[in-house]
Amino acid sequence: MSADMIDIKAVRSDFPALNQKVYGKDLIYLDNAATTHKPLSVMDRLVDFYSTINSNVHRGSHYLSTEASIAYEGARESVRKFINAARPDEIIFTGGTTESINLAASSFGRAFVKEGDRILTTLMEHHSNIVPWQRLCGEKGAELKVIPIDDGGNLKIDEFKELITKKTKLVAFTYVSSVLGTVNPVREISRIAHENDIPVLVDGAQAPQHLPVDVRNLDCDFFAFSGHKVYAGTGIGVLYGKKRWLDAMEPYQSGGGMITSVSFESTSYEETPLKFEAGTGNIAGALGLESAIEYLNKIGIEKIAAYEKSLTEYALKKLQEVEGIRIYGSSKERCGVISFNLKGVHHHDLGTVLDKLGIAVRTGKLCAEPLMEYYGISGTVRVSFALYNTKKEVDTLIEGIEKARHVLQAG
Ligand code: PMP
């Protein structure tokens, strides 16, 4: 697929936030792994919802509520298609990846994890895919074991196999590392886990904006992602779960919208997904997510993947030419993200110099403290791409890094 098939000029005009100056310089936004900017169609959808059918869902019998409920369930169906889930009731709307993983840890943990059991995660996880499991294990008297990586940032699959025991209840791992850019072999990990009757949860926070996701093909049992990283608004996300697991799990939060009957003696619950959607959710956000999916589909996720691949390869090549640079992770299968340090330069100082040049990057531990510890560093600089970034922006980044290098290494 040719990477030139995206009309970048047209794409960039869809994102008003890109066309602004910071400190008098054209903004170059390279912090897309933290959050992406939003196309007008997503923002218009929110305005449209609040200007017309604004109402609560699955509650009222009046016109607006009926229309809002239809639209909300339509958004669920769009998410189902986007990740190729088998059924819409396998799609739970949440506040984002973090909430999705907390939901899974709480409800799956309550149903299936007991003293002496084991949960597996990996060294390259975001804190969101460590701490909920750590808390669960602490509460249950279970143990959290960590799948190691090699220096190139690839999971050690043989050591993963060795960590599997009869008491292993779940493997929770990221699809794409938010630090190293490594794309993990989800199908292979799922296959190995399933051969041992162990379900897998995939942290997909860095995946569907960069590559096509097919949860049935990946054969994962749970898949979590955030709307705001796929060009939708904040405060909306998704937990996909295979129905047989969701049916066997208890609700996460409880209250309105998730019950069929309540008395002071006992309560009965709705079926999934409503069972897991207590209270009023982010209705407008779900519609915005649908619009973001439509936007991605209009361009084509394969085209986006090809475009971003060529951009990432270009950036990697240029960065490798910078004197004294260390790039973390060299996986063959990678996308979206490059983290690095410059010899003798604190990551925060480099980030500050780049910021003053109008270039937004992320610095610090990137919510992956155990991984920083593994590399023996206090943090990194991270650049992360979206479909609207360009090679010209990469060139300006490199110029900025060179400027910073001269100033900071001299000082
Ligand atoms: N997992 C990964 C791999 C991430 O990159 C992030 C966000 N940086 C999260 C989880 C958490 O996502 P959110 O803050 O949207 O819940």
Strand partners, 29: 360
> Do residues 287 and 306 both lie within one domain?
no
Any domain includes 3? no
Asked if residues 132 and 113 have their Cβ atoms less than 8 Å apart, the reply is no
Going by alpha carbons, the residue nearest to atom 6 of ligand 1 is 205
Find out whether the beta carbon of 178 lies less than 6 Å from any atom of ligand 1: yes
> Do residues 285 and 397 both lie within one domain?
no
**pLDDT per residue as tens digits for the range 141-174:** 999 999 999 989 999 999 999 999 999 999 999 9
Residue 4: pLDDT band (50, 70, 90) is low
> Do residues 267 and 252 both lie within one domain?
yes
Query: In terms of C-beta distances under 8 Å and separation of at least 24 residues, what long-range contacts does 351-354 make, across chains too?
Result: 351/381, 353/400, 353/403, 353/404, 353/407, 353/408, 354/381, 354/397, 354/400, 354/401, 354/404
Note the pLDDT of residue 2: 52
Q: How many domains does the chain have?
A: 2
Any domain includes 221? yes
> Do residues 66 and 156 both lie within one domain?
yes
Going by alpha carbons, the residue nearest to atom 12 of ligand 1 is 97
Find out whether the beta carbon of 174 lies less than 6 Å from any atom of ligand 1: yes
DSSP-based three-state secondary structure for 338 = strand
- Domain boundary residue, one of 266, 297, 328: 297
> Do residues 162 and 124 both lie within one domain?
yes
The best mutation among 93, 102, 182, 367 to test binding of ligand 1, ranked by most ligand atoms within 8 Å of the C-beta, falls on 367
**pLDDT per residue as tens digits for the range 66-100:** 999 999 999 999 999 999 999 999 999 999 999 99
The best mutation among 35, 122, 126 to test binding of ligand 1, ranked by most ligand atoms within 8 Å of the C-beta, falls on 126
> Do residues 52 and 123 both lie within one domain?
yes
Going by alpha carbons, the residue nearest to atom 5 of ligand 1 is 178
> Do residues 60 and 150 both lie within one domain?
yes
Q: Is the pLDDT of residue 1 over 50?
A: no
Any domain includes 19? yes
Asked if residues 203 and 175 have their Cβ atoms less than 8 Å apart, the reply is yes
Q: Is the pLDDT of residue 411 over 80?
A: no
Going by alpha carbons, the residue nearest to atom 14 of ligand 1 is 98
Q: Is the pLDDT of residue 274 over 50?
A: yes
Find out whether the beta carbon of 205 lies less than 6 Å from any atom of ligand 1: yes
Domain span at 214: 43-297
Q: Is the pLDDT of residue 331 over 50?
A: yes
Locate 153 and state its tokens: 């940032």
Any domain includes 189? yes
CA distance 110 to 395: 51
Find out whether the beta carbon of 238 lies less than 6 Å from any atom of ligand 1: no
- Domain boundary residue, one of 242, 268, 297: 297
CA of 97 to the centre of ligand 1 (A): 6
Find out whether the beta carbon of 96 lies less than 6 Å from any atom of ligand 1: yes
The best mutation among 94, 121, 184, 206 to test binding of ligand 1, ranked by most ligand atoms within 8 Å of the C-beta, falls on 206
Any domain includes 1? no
CATH number of the domain enclosing 354: 3.90.1150.10
> Do residues 226 and 312 both lie within one domain?
no
**pLDDT per residue as tens digits for the range 176-188:** 999 999 999 999 9
CA distance 176 to 294: 23
Any domain includes 235? yes
Q: Is the pLDDT of residue 292 over 50?
A: yes
> For ligand 1, what atom is nearest to the CA of residue 95?
16
Asked if residues 258 and 276 have their Cβ atoms less than 8 Å apart, the reply is yes
Any domain includes 2? no
CA distance 172 to 253: 21
User: pTM to 2 decimals?
Assistant: 0.97
> Do residues 358 and 267 both lie within one domain?
no
CA of 125 to the centre of ligand 1 (A): 10
Mean pLDDT of 239-264: 96
Residue 336: pLDDT band (50, 70, 90) is confident
Locate 12 and state its tokens: 């960039």
> For ligand 1, what atom is nearest to the CA of residue 228?
15
> Do residues 332 and 209 both lie within one domain?
no
Q: Is the pLDDT of residue 3 over 60?
A: no
CA of 181 to the centre of ligand 1 (A): 13
CATH number of the domain enclosing 285: 3.40.640.10
Find out whether the beta carbon of 98 lies less than 6 Å from any atom of ligand 1: yes
CA of 226 to the centre of ligand 1 (A): 7
Q: Is the pLDDT of residue 320 over 80?
A: yes
Provide, rounded to the nearest whole percent, the portion of the chain with pLDDT above 90. 96
> Do residues 194 and 267 both lie within one domain?
yes
Residue of 318, 396, 409 whose CA lies nearest to 357:
396
Residue 350: pLDDT band (50, 70, 90) is very high
CA distance 388 to 25: 18
**Known catalytic residues?**
367
CA distance 15 to 386: 12
Note the pLDDT of residue 408: 86
Find out whether the beta carbon of 32 lies less than 6 Å from any atom of ligand 1: no
Query: In terms of C-beta distances under 8 Å and separation of at least 24 residues, what long-range contacts does 300-305 make, across chains too?
Result: 301/208, 301/211, 301/212, 302/1, 302/212, 303/1, 303/5, 303/6, 304/6, 304/209, 304/210, 304/387, 305/210, 305/211, 305/212, 305/335
- Domain boundary residue, one of 258, 277, 297: 297
CA of 408 to the centre of ligand 1 (A): 31
> Do residues 140 and 211 both lie within one domain?
yes
